[in-house]
Amino acid sequence: MTSRVVLVADPLPATALEGLGPGFEVRHCDGADRVRLLAAVAEADALLVRSATTVDAEVLAAAPRLAVVGRAGVGVDNIDVAAATAAGVVVVNAPAANVVSAAELTCGLLLAAARDIQAAGRELKSGVWRRGTHVGTELAGKTLGIVGLGRIGLAVARRMTAFDMTVLGHDPYATPETADQHGLKLVPLEELLSRSDFITVHVPRTPDTVGLIGEAELRLVKPTAYLANVARGGIVDEAALHTALRESRLAGAALDVFEDEPCTDSPLLGLDNVTVTPHLGASTREAQERAATDVVRALLRTLGGESVPEALNAPRSARG
């Protein structure tokens, strides 16, 4: 039997790829190199990506044998799912694999923003010992507003409750039972924005959520509030956020994601009260291992006829 080709276009742990077994030939390419990607995908039966590779209609058209695209992570906004479906290509992801990692980074960014950790550290490493300009704010007794109460939003709620925060949530699909279980109060978005001292966004990027937090919404926020985005760039409008921060209508922001990635020249990077990381929400050994294993398992199930090795059948995804 000829091997089926699995093209891996973003870095994934080799141990998880071994789970594919002998029926597959694993090939690698840099998905950011468009020319190489289009050439390599021509012979692929399956394509595995993280967030850096864009799988659009052009890539799908260049891949006549492609049966499945596996996204080793949650968000599938880098994949044209409609075009894939029209082409008969199944898209699978690893929805639970990096919940803990993304939630932990969010909590870290909220703390970092509240205490100016990134700017103070940068200053000290440049030889400046200055304490007076880094007076922060406590989280205890403050209100955290969570926009999007899915896996990550709720995992953040559970963790930040331990910091004695009051939690508000907004999610059109959340039930009162979920809110009760997590000790949070469901409120409309406008109320969440105007009452929260810290706001964190955990919705997928879709046509409905792009610009969800824009100029009008940022005008509702307290000038002492901090805003975190570990979901996707563009959900918080970057130009509106920059203006709000410059006009001191917001105390600070913490961003892991950007409208255009890789992002090295956003004006937001020049503001002292912006804490940033380069899309590291899922970048832990545990999350990467789980995401790759989960997506390999989903790929094997989708291709059918392949028995899933015992080692891959064990539940890997951690509870958030």
Ligand X SMILES: NC(=O)c1ccc[n+]([C@@H]2O[C@H](COP(=O)([O-])OP(=O)(O)OC[C@H]3O[C@@H](n4cnc5c(N)ncnc54)[C@H](O)[C@@H]3O)[C@@H](O)[C@H]2O)c1
**In what helix (H) or strand (E) does residue 101 lie, and over which residues does it extend?**
helix 99-115
Figure out which of the listed residues 2, 126, 132, 173 binds ligand X, where binding follows CB under 6 A. 173
How many whole angstroms separate alpha carbon 304 and alpha carbon 320?
A: 29
In 3-state terms the chain splits into helix, strand, coil percentages (rounded to 5) of 35, 15, 45
User: In angstroms, how far is the first alpha carbon of the chain from the final one?
Assistant: 41
- The reply on whether position 107 binds ligand X by CB under 6 A is no
Which uninterrupted H or E stretch holds 183? Answer: none
289 is catalytic: no
Q: State the binding string over 224-253 for ligand 2HG (x if CB under 6 A, else -).
A: ------------------------------
| DSSP state letter for 97 | T
| Residue 202 binds which entry of ligand X, ligand 2HG, none, CB below 5-8 Å type-dependent | ligand X
Q: Based on the shown chain and the rule CB under 6 A, indicate whether residue 202 belongs to the binding site for ligand X.
A: yes
Rule CB under 6 A: choose which of 281, 293, 294, 299 binds ligand X. 281
Asked if 99 touches ligand X (CB under 6 A), the answer is yes
> Among 3-11, 136-144, 199-207, 264-272, which window interacts with ligand X (CB under 6 A)?
199-207
* Distance from C-alpha of 170 to C-alpha of 190, rounded to nearest angstrom: 9
Among 31, 70, 73, 150, binds ligand 2HG (CB under 6 A): 73
The count of residues interacting with ligand X (CB under 6 A) is 32
Size of the site for ligand 2HG (CB under 6 A): 10
Interaction of residue 11 with ligand X, rule CB under 6 A: no
Whichever of 151 and 316 has its CB closer to ligand X, that residue is 151
Using CB under 6 A as the criterion, what x/- string covers residues 86-125 for binding ligand 2HG? Answer: ------------x---------------------------
- Sheet containing 198-201: which strands, arranged edge to edge? 184-186, 166-170, 143-147, 198-201, 226-229, 252-255, 274-276
Of 37-45, 220-228, 259-267, 280-288, the segment contacting ligand 2HG by CB under 6 A is 280-288
Residue with tokens 């307290």: 222
Selecting among 123, 261, 289, 306, the annotated active-site residue is 261
User: Interface with ligand X includes 10 (CB under 6 A)?
Assistant: no
285 is catalytic: no
- Measured N-to-C along each axis, helices 99-115 and 151-161 cross at an angle, to the nearest 10 degrees, of 50
282 contributes a contact to ligand 2HG by CB under 6 A: yes
- For ligand X, the nearest residue by Cβ is 150
Do the beta carbons of residue 101 and residue 282 sit within 8 Å?
A: yes
Q: Are 274 and 266 in contact (CB under 8 A)?
A: no
Is 232 known to be catalytic?
A: yes
DSSP string across 217-266? HHTTS-TT-EEEE-S-TTSB-HHHHHHHHHTTSSSEEEES--SSSS-S--
Q: Determine the Cα–Cα distance for residues 93 and 17; give it in Å rounded to an integer.
A: 15
Is there binding between residue 182 and ligand X (CB under 6 A)?
no
Cα 35 from Cα 140, distance rounded (Å): 52
**Please, what is the minimum distance in Å from the beta carbon of residue 295 to ligand 2HG?**
10
- 170 is a site residue for ligand X (CB under 6 A): yes
Binding site for ligand X (CB under 6 A): 73-75, 98-99, 102, 147-153, 170-173, 202-205, 208-209, 212, 230-232, 256-257, 279, 281-282
- Which residues does the annotation mark as catalytic? 232, 261, 279
Binding site for ligand 2HG (CB under 6 A): 50-51, 73-75, 98, 279, 281-283
